[in-house]
């Protein structure tokens, strides 16, 4: 049996910028030399009329043709200038840009659900998810209101597919751009819950997941820099005991298992040490951050336009742009597709 080649792109919230940045990425490729085309073998798992609406927005001249396909593999033979769409869910074309709607949340959830199941059944090689809106997803009701976002929905689908409890399908978020990679111990929880999540088991599990995923991506064991939780990484216990009692023991166990781990270092300097520059590789391949904003602020500050969100620990490849639905500019045709293009490139690297 041949390996699937097609990559599904889910449109995200139809009231946000997802559909238009997808259309813009395909339009850019329609004008590009063949050797630099990124969206080859990609298709949209979504709604035909939604993508026709998005294509008309970014390409009034009609250079980009939106075409219905019936199987993912048809995307692999689609010619340049064609945006293939597999109809997996329906949404009203009358939904306005830039507003929260339960119907939009349901549609976004159904598209991700289809793509996750297709990937788990090896019908597609990977999925790239355009941004959804968490309030709209919650407003959609069951089953989607049980999930804070993409990561948790994909985790639940993977756990169900493998017949295990969600707790036995640990996942982590990695944010990456050309200069920095960071993996998070906790994701979408409150700050107080994030502090409680800094446990020996969670830190060690994150190190293991990071090592396994980056080893596949880099072709070698990654050098992992670990950020402390407290200012100055606790300053020897003066500003907190978590580094001494939790983080260092987890790192020691990881090192005993052969992982290349370093730290914990002051969180206000470790990201600068890991940053890659044109003529200077960073000190670390990836930084392990203790909570969401600690890791995401430096990555996003360096540039949302190239940022990619990768879910680690899943039995499938999933990437996403490192930005949200941008309701304030949705429907204006000005949204930048660079982060989506970077997400497609990352997915291609991970399945290579």
Question: Which of helix, strand or coil describes residue 137?
Answer: helix
Q: Are 153 and 273 members of one domain?
A: no
The answer to whether position 271 is within a domain reads yes
The answer to whether position 312 is within a domain reads no
As a whole number of angstroms, the distance between CA 19 and CA 337 comes to: 10
The answer to whether position 318 is within a domain reads no
Q: Are 192 and 137 members of one domain?
A: no
* Each residue's pLDDT tens digit, 235-268: 999 999 999 999 999 999 999 999 999 999 999 9
For the chain, give the percent of residues with pLDDT over 70. Answer: 98
Q: Are 84 and 221 members of one domain?
A: no
Confidence band for 304, pLDDT divided at 50, 70 and 90: low
Q: Are 163 and 229 members of one domain?
A: no
Q: Are 56 and 126 members of one domain?
A: yes
DSSP E strands in the chain: the ranges are: 7-10, 42-46, 65-69, 82-87, 126-129, 172-176, 181-184, 223-227, 260-265, 286-289, 308-312, 318-321
As a whole number of angstroms, the distance between CA 348 and CA 304 comes to: 20
The answer to whether position 172 is within a domain reads no
User: The domain that contains 39 carries what CATH number?
Assistant: 3.40.718.10
Q: Are 258 and 137 members of one domain?
A: no
Q: Are 71 and 107 members of one domain?
A: yes
The answer to whether position 309 is within a domain reads no
The answer to whether position 245 is within a domain reads yes
Q: Are 236 and 133 members of one domain?
A: no
As a whole number of angstroms, the distance between CA 216 and CA 142 comes to: 36
As a whole number of angstroms, the distance between CA 260 and CA 251 comes to: 9
Confidence band for 23, pLDDT divided at 50, 70 and 90: very high
Confidence band for 2, pLDDT divided at 50, 70 and 90: low
The answer to whether position 287 is within a domain reads yes
Specify whether the backbone of 303 is left (phi greater than 0), alpha (psi in -120 to 50) or beta.
left
Q: Per the structure, how many domains does the chain have?
A: 2
Confidence band for 51, pLDDT divided at 50, 70 and 90: very high
Q: Are 37 and 162 members of one domain?
A: yes
Domain boundary among the residues 255, 279, 297 is at 297
User: What domain range is 340 assigned to?
Assistant: 7-167+323-351
Q: Which tokens belong to 228?
A: 């402390």
Model pTM? 0.90
Q: Are 29 and 142 members of one domain?
A: yes
Q: Are 82 and 200 members of one domain?
A: no
The answer to whether position 95 is within a domain reads yes
For the chain, give the percent of residues with pLDDT over 90. Answer: 85
Q: Are 25 and 115 members of one domain?
A: yes
């Amino acid at each position: 049996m041949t390996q699937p080649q097609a990559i599904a792109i889910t449109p995200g919230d139809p009231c946000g910028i997802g559909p238009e940045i997808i259309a813009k990425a395909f339009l850019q490729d329609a004008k590009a030399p063949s050797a630099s085309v990124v969206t080859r073998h990609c298709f949209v798992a979504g709604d035909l009329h939604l993508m026709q609406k998005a294509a008309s927005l970014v390409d009034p001249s009609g250079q980009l043709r939106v075409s219905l396909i019936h199987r993912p593999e048809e995307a692999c033979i689609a010619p340049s200038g064609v945006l293939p769409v597999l109809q997996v869910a329906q949404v009203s074309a009358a939904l306005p840009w830039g507003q929260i709607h339960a119907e939009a949340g349901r549609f976004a959830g159904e598209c991700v659900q289809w793509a996750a199941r297709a990937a788990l059944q090896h019908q597609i090689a990977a999925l790239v998810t355009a941004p959804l809106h968490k309030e709209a997803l919650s407003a959609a009701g069951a089953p989607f209101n049980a999930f804070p976002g993409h990561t948790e929905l994909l985790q639940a689908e993977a756990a169900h597919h493998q017949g295990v409890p969600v707790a036995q399908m640990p996942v982590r978020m990695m944010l990456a751009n050309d200069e920095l990679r960071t993996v998070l111990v906790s994701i979408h929880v409150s700050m107080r819950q994030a502090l409680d999540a800094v446990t020996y088991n969670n830190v060690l599990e994150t190190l293991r997941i990071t090592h396994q995923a980056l080893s596949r991506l880099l072709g070698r064991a990654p050098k992992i820099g670990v950020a402390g939780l407290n200012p100055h990484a606790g300053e020897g216990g003066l500003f907190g005991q978590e580094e001494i009692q939790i983080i260092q023991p987890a790192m020691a166990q990881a090192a005993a298992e052969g992982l290349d781990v370093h730290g914990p270092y002051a969180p206000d300097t470790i990201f600068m040490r890991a940053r890659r520059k044109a003529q200077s590789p960073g000190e670390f391949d990836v930084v392990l951050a203790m909570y969401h904003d600690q890791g995401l602020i430096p990555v996003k500050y360096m540039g949302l336009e190239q940022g990619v969100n990768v879910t680690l620990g899943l039995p499938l490849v999933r990437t996403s742009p490192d930005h949200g639905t941008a309701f304030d500019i949705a429907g204006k045709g000005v949204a930048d597709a660079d982060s989506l293009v970077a997400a497609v490139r990352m997915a291609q690297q991970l399945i290579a």
